[in-house]
Amino acid sequence: MTAPTLKKRITELGAELTQRYKEEKDLVIICTLKGSILFVADLMREIDLPLEVDFISVASYHGGLTSGQLQVVHGMTTQITHRPVLIVEDIVDTGRTLKKLKEMISEGNPRSIEVCALLDKPSRRLVEIEADYVGFTIEDLFVVGYGLDYQQRYRNLPYIGVLSDPQ
């Protein structure tokens, strides 16, 4: 996906989200670190509404293997009680992390929780969960760039590409 393709779709998502939340007050966008940082920075500039942004960093891996347990590495500081929350994700893959993240955020008693994902890989889904807003649906490929990494590299690429041999 080229940089202009990403820009065009993010502008469209911003317009959709502006329309969706125009009657709401106190929108909170929660960016999942680190992969969503570029996406959220561009997306929130396309949402023509007052909003607050916060960040959360979670991990389900230890030593390169998934533990199945979600650990909060960096928690939110924003009060979300009775406020609409939009989780901004880089990619929805198996859905496990997103499902657990939504459960954790729901404990803060928000008015609503929705998800906007830049990329969706439905063929990899292991749990029943979907993003409410999706930039692009992709095949089961290992992608990097625009925030997505391989061993902390390639996040800074202005486009998304397929890493042919992630080994």
Q: Does residue 165 have an active-site annotation?
A: no
Tell me the β-bridge partners of 117: 89, 134
The set of residues, in sequence order, having a beta carbon less than 8 Å from that of 114 and lying 6+ positions away, is 20, 84, 85, 86, 87, 132, 133
**Catalytic-labelled residue, pool 42, 90, 93, 120:** 93
In the DSSP assignment, the letter for residue 124 is: G
Question: From CA 75, how far away is CA 157, in angstroms rounded?
Answer: 27
Written as six digits, the tokens of 128 are 């029943």
Kindly list the catalytic residues: 93
